[in-house]
Chain A
Amino acid sequence: MSDISRRKLITTGLAAAASVTGLGAAARIAQKCGLVPPDHGGLFGLGETLTYASHRLLTKHSLAREFSRSQISKPPFPNEIPPLNDEFKRLQAGGFADWRLTIDGMVARPASFSLDQLKSYPSQSQITMLQCEEGWSYVAEWIGVPLSHVLDVVGVLPQARYVVYFSIDPEWWESIDMADASHPQTFLAYGMNGDVLPVGNGGPLRIRLPRQLGYKSVKFITRLTVTDSLKGLGKGLGSANADAGYAWYAGI
């Protein structure tokens, strides 16, 4: 072995070792800074992590575009909804007077709210776009209470990392990180275009995240869980959609 090739071998070896160590360190730092999505494993984990990490760095505090009242789509498109179960029909028959939103997990004061209680909090509205991963979209005025307001009422513990939310259909659940949970445009929406939120659009209560695709804005919300880990929920990928093969982060 000549000197040159030995030197080359040593430098290449050192460079490779340094890269592996560097990547390992970068992965640990990224994990610590909340830049790694729960579906980071597998074949598409690299792309998903790059997307989520870059969006967290670039868009942590940015506000979704708001539109003028004249840009509201008429009529707002109600997408297909899963078959409503008996529990939903019973609550619907009672005018949703008994609809409850329970909040548990890593909170100081677990609680259960009626729709009237939620409506007693300062109401806000946003005229934002709902965009489906399929390609269609519409603009509507969404009326509700910011999720952060309700989370403040129950007192989120400092170790919390995710808010998991469940539809009345137990098969339908999603989760978001604390950056999205505390974002000012993340709403618990109960109204649309100056009226109550129609059942077809997720009434009586829908979570609304205008910076992510429609499938994150789960309809018929009945429960929130604040947690520091998504392991143990389904396949541990963070949502029913992720378990079904869709990206957990849906900002694109």
Chain B
Amino acid sequence: MGFRVPLHKFPRSTSAFAILAPRDTIPGVSESACAPSSVSAVPAMTVTSRHSALVRVTHWITTLCFLALLVSGVEILISHPRFYWGETGNVLTPPLFKLPIPSSRALVPTGYGYVLPDQNGWSRYLHFQAAWVVVLTGLLYIISSFFTGHLRRNLLPGKGDLSWRAFSNSMVSHLRLQRPSAAEAWSYNLLQRLSYLFVIFVLFPLVIWTGLAMSLAFVSAFPATVTLLGGQQSARTIHFFVSLALVIFLLVHVVMVSLAGFRSRMRAMITGRAGKD
């Protein structure tokens, strides 16, 4: 990438938001040694922060919202654990597939002899509130990522990194569950960058789109949002699969964090400080 800015060039006022350590910062050098003496009054850790405050705050808001969306989404789902393709579907029409779980509604034939309690009221309220918060948070993250250079520096792969060789190397080291090198404590690796870009620019937009396409009022104003997906029930089915993909991402993400060192990575995402345990 060839990106290298002397640390003291960063204006102090923007340090909390804009500064991420350049990805080729030498790890192991103590934080205070990196801080230029002229700004020694500023706590050194904010200067060499692994994750900017904006990244950290949006990360945890997104985490909370995602968990809320997941729990409420499951609750809504069990009131009708059947999926269809096209515009309409109900218990009188053949499903595309059904989940082998009990339902919270008596009219759904599940094969189970009991009906779960109805939790749709608060679940729907929570689902849409969390959706609002996560969409606004995501917008803040994406817009600021353009302006602070977070997107270009930390998410887009470097020119030299985008080769099959680099990709397969990264893939092999992931599949062998190798602990990442010390340098990776300071920057995302190639596979990580590609996964994050996929989640941010493909999965999240898709899950929002398919969610909106299920809204009768929303599609009355923007009918193409549902017809392009093949119908309202198709939107619901795609929403389910994209959510599943996001859950798989979450699980792999947590496994990778644990592999790289759960304590140090958590500390980096909470306080911004990186380094060894």
Contacts and interface: CB of A to CB of B under 8 A. Distances in A.
A245 B233 contact: no
B79 interface: yes
Contacts of B217: 55, 59, 62, 211-212, 251-252
Interface residues of B, number: 40
A33 interface: no
Main secondary structure of the interface of B (DSSP, over half): helix
A62 B125 CA distance: 24
Interface string B244-266: 00000000000000000000000
A233 B90 CA distance: 34
Most buried by B among A75, A129, A139: A129
A134 B107 CA distance: 11
A47 B129 CA distance: 4
Contacts of B76: 133-135
B89 A137 contact: yes
Contact of A44 (B90, B126, B218, B233): B126
B128 A75 contact: no
A252 B79 contact: no
A246 to B, nearest CB: 5
A65 B218 CA distance: 10
Contacts of B163: none
Contacts of B236: 135
Interface stretch (B3-11, B145-153, B219-227): B219-227
Given A48-B129, A50-B132, A65-B219, A244 B121 contact: yes
Contacts of A139: 87-88
A67 interface: yes
Nearest to A47: B129
B107 A135 contact: no
A137 B120 contact: no
A18 to B, nearest CB: 20
Contact of B216 (A51, A75, A80, A251): A251
13 contacts: A44-B128, A47-B132, A71-B88, A77-B90, A80-B106, A129-B87, A129-B216, A135-B77, A136-B89, A137-B87, A251-B216, A252-B215, A252-B216
